[in-house]
């Protein structure tokens, strides 16, 4: 490139802006990180509102006309087991994503198969035991 073209190219960008216009990824990464953090905080706030409303509805609806608490009997052991299975499936999905990120097919496959199995156990556990959609004799 000739000196004349280089000088004109630099003058077109202004002082100090030349590096920013040619792929300096630090600035765009900082903006991306800032947007990601904002999205994460908005997600947390929305979850607080959602579960706060669900808890408020639970406490409001489980009182009778005289103010006494009327609660159905819940099997907490089944709920605990199903929640544990759900958390394990989240961990195995994270393992699969990590395997995909590092191009490790074995880790990815183990993670995906584990997630499928644990997700199926969760679905069956919720539908059969907690919701009672499939009646058992007796």
Domain ranges of the chain: 1-72, 74-138
For residue 20, what are the CA distances in angstroms to 12, 34, 61, 69, 125? Answer: 13, 18, 58, 64, 55
Task: Report pLDDT for 115.
Answer: 97
Cα dihedral value 62, 80, 91, 38, nearest 10: 20
- 0.85 exceeded by the pTM? no
> Do the beta carbons of residue 121 and residue 130 sit within 8 Å?
no
Higher pLDDT, 54 or 105: 105
- Provide the mean pLDDT of the chain: 79
């Amino acid at each position: 490139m000739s000196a004349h073209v280089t000088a004109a190219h630099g003058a077109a960008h202004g002082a100090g802006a030349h590096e920013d216009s040619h792929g300096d990824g630090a600035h765009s990464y900082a903006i991306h990180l800032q947007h990601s953090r904002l999205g994460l905080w908005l997600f947390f706030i929305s979850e607080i509102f959602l579960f706060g409303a669900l808890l408020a509805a639970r406490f409001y609806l489980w009182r009778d006309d005289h103010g006494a608490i009327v609660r159905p009997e819940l099997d907490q052991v089944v709920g605990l087991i199903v929640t544990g299975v759900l958390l394990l499936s989240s961990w195995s999905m994270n393992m699969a994503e990590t395997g995909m990120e590092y191009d490790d097919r074995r880790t990815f496959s183990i993670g995906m198969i584990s997630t499928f199995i644990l997700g199926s156990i969760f679905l069956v556990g919720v539908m059969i035991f907690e919701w009672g959609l499939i009646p058992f004799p007796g």
